[in-house]
Amino acid sequence: MDELPLDQVRTLLAVVDEGTFDAAAAALHVTPSAVSQRVKALEQRTGRVLLQRTKPVRLTESGEVVVRFARQLARLERDARTELGLAAEQGPARVPIAVNADSLATWFLPALTRVPQDPPICFELYREDESHTTALLREGQVMAAVTSSPEPVAGCTVRRLGSARYLVVATPEFADRHFTGDLAADLSEAPTVVFDRRDELQDAFVRSLTRGRSGAGRIRHMVPASDGFRDAVAAGLGWGLVPEPQAEPLLRADRLVELAPGRPLDVPLYWQQWKLDSPALSTVAEAVASAATDSLLTTPA
């Protein structure tokens, strides 16, 4: 295989973005048969199945590689047109980024205000748990991600941002009712607030106390929003790990108490991005790194 035919690569991308062969055909102004033939030809050329023919379609691992290449190619083409003065009709550059909810609620949005808007840049944010944001990079849906993974996704660079600090907190009334002095046992039994079913932060903290013998309690209230999570803990529904910037005002107001003073949980965060010479992406990366230096703990890697 000497090359990937660009019309076939773009057709695969259209199928993924539109979800079905028929929708891709409408977007490309060709017949569904032509779309199917192009995808089959690309699969024959690569010697790999690239799509699962479900509704919507799903990429295989090989398909993720090709789609990531397609999106990177589109970005390079756009940047080249901009440098040639041919992209005015295309509107501002778009930078899709995956970021976890707690970063969104604390330091990440102020970081984006540092991005110069000449030329203008549009942000498209995907909210995802920090341990899962790299999946969106692998699939080619985003150009960059805030992640807890130091291992670079194929075709990406990685840069340490710092650590987000979480405090183990609950209301004073909740602490009086559920905590007897045996922190590990009490945390294992007391009602817990978690972000969603993939949130393992509370379990990780309890396991650090019990040497892996047990996690957080069986009663788990799921609140999939960063501010809502904090408010649920402040309402006394359970204990939880709250980002320090969100917890501090409530601690000062005596609405929350620390259950494990001097034992915060620090989560390292990294910035991963495509290996592309893209001015827009580079500008965003520098603004994010600068804001992270001001907002996160700069502990050594």
Query: Which of 52-66, 99-113, 196-210 reaches the highest mean pLDDT?
Result: 99-113
pLDDT tens for each residue of 121-159? 999 999 998 888 888 888 888 999 999 999 999 889 999
Q: What is the mean pLDDT of residues 294-298?
A: 94
pLDDT value of residue 301: 45
Residue 255 to residue 251: CA distance in whole angstroms: 6
Phi, psi of 294 (to 5 degrees): -80, -25
Do the bridges between strand 220-222 and strand 58-59 make them parallel or antiparallel, or are there none, so unpaired? unpaired
Alpha carbon distances (Å) from 152 to 6, 76, 97, 101: 27, 21, 16, 21
To the question of domain 90-162+267-295 being in CATH 3.30.830.10, the answer is no
CA nearest to 28, candidates 43, 44, 13, 45: 13
Distance of CA 191 to the CA centre of its chain: 27
Q: What is the mean pLDDT of residues 100-118?
A: 94
231 Rama sector, left if φ>0, alpha if ψ -120 to 50, beta otherwise: alpha
pLDDT value of residue 158: 96
pLDDT tens for each residue of 52-84? 999 899 999 899 889 988 888 888 887 777 777
Domain locations along the chain: 1-89, 90-162+267-295, 165-265
- Candidate CATH numbers 1.10.10.10, 3.30.70.890, 2.60.40.1080, 3.40.50.300; the one for domain 1-89: 1.10.10.10
pLDDT-above-90 percentage for the chain: 69
Structure tokens at 65: 């590689």
| Matching fold, domains 1-89 and 90-162+267-295 | no
CATH code for the part of the protein at 165-265: 3.40.190.10
Residue 185 to residue 181: CA distance in whole angstroms: 9
pLDDT tens for each residue of 209-248? 988 777 888 899 999 999 999 999 999 999 999 999 999 9
- Structure-token match 């939880």, residue found: 240
Q: Is the pTM of this model over 0.85?
A: no
Alpha carbon distances (Å) from 202 to 72, 181, 295: 37, 18, 23
